[in-house]
Amino acid sequence: MKKIKIILPLCAVLLLIGCEKRLFHFIATITQSPTFPINITGNITGNFQLLIPVNSTAFQNAFAIPAGGRIARVDIESLALRAAAKSGNQATALQVTGVILENGGIQQTILFEQDTIAVGGADAPLSSLKRLNADGIGRLRSKIEGYVKNTTNQSFDIQLTGKIVPSGRSLVIDLQLVLIATAKYDQCLEVPGLFSSGEKCGE
């Protein structure tokens, strides 16, 4: 009976105060980690090249920004590679360079350059890319932000080129590129008027 007596006055207060819309800030995280098989065997020079196609669909679906959410900014949190050896592999490491290719390869922006990645087993750890290029990261961020804001759907490629260590050995691996990004977004939510959190929503 005491609980009912307490709850009823509280409900009455909430009804009198009413609700209002307040602006809140949120962060959504996305991890994209496509895996690409590389199989280079025989008497080779130790070089390889791989094209990774990137399009808007994966990013637009993966962030799942709620209806009414306004995206403020997308940031790249980390880039990493994982090289997992398969049967027949003889390489112990890769020296990899990544380049963003746009407009059929006419526009090229270096993403990272000559990063050394160890080749491990099936449970190989991620190797964070250290030799990142600021212009390349900025361009990648801009492209993903355009996808999420739905201001562009133009696809592009990330070209991976590199050398096999030791040179001349067979390279049989699954190469995984792992991208972690965050989207900062704002959303107006209806809350009881006595709530002091959030900010005033714009008109």
- Listing DSSP states for 91-154 in one string gives --EEEEEEEEEEGGGTEEEEEEEEEEEEEE-TTPPPEE--SB-HHHHHHHHHHHHHHHTTS---
Q: Domain span at residue 109?
A: 23-190
Q: Per-residue confidence at 200, pLDDT binned at 50, 70, 90?
A: confident
pLDDT value at position 166? 86
Q: What is the mean pLDDT of residues 109-115?
A: 95
Specify the amino acid at residue 110.
Answer: I
Residue 31 counted as domain residue: yes
Using alpha carbons only, what angle is made at residue 47 by residues 46 and 52, rounded to the nearest 5 degrees? 140
Residue 45 lies in a domain: yes
Asked if residue 3 is part of any domain, the answer here is no
Is the pLDDT confidence value at 1 over 50? Answer: no
Closest to 177 measured CA to CA, from 105, 102, 99:
99
How high is the mean pLDDT of the chain? 81
User: Is 74 domain-assigned?
Assistant: yes
What does the DSSP assignment read for 162-202?
Answer: EEEESTT--EEEEEEEEEEEEEEEEEEEEEETT---SEEPP
- Residue 2: band (very low, low, confident or very high) from pLDDT cuts 50, 70, 90: very low
Domain contains 126: yes
Domains contained in the chain, number: 1
In a domain, 167, yes or no: yes
pLDDT digit string, tens, across residues 20-32: 778 888 888 887 7
Structure token digits, residue 5: 């007596």
Residues 6 or more apart from 16 whose CB is under 8 A from it? Answer: none
Model pLDDT for residues 69-87, shown as the tens digit of each residue: 888 899 999 899 988 888 8
Q: Is residue 197 part of a domain?
A: no
Average pLDDT over residues 160-174: 86
Residue 199 placed within a domain: no
Rounded to a whole number of angstroms, the distance between the first and last alpha carbons of the chain is 44
In this prediction, residue 203 has a pLDDT band, given cuts at 50, 70 and 90, of: low
Over range 108-134, report the average pLDDT.
91
Instruction: Name the least confident of 30-44, 48-62, 100-114.
Output: 30-44
CATH at 63: 2.60.120
Tell whether the model's pLDDT for residue 139 goes beyond 90.
yes
Q: Is the peptide bond before 166 cis (omega within 30 degrees of 0)?
A: yes
Cα-Cα-Cα-Cα dihedral sign, residues 195, 198, 200, 203: negative
pTM for the structure as a whole: 0.79
**pLDDT, position 188:** 85
65: DSSP letter:
P
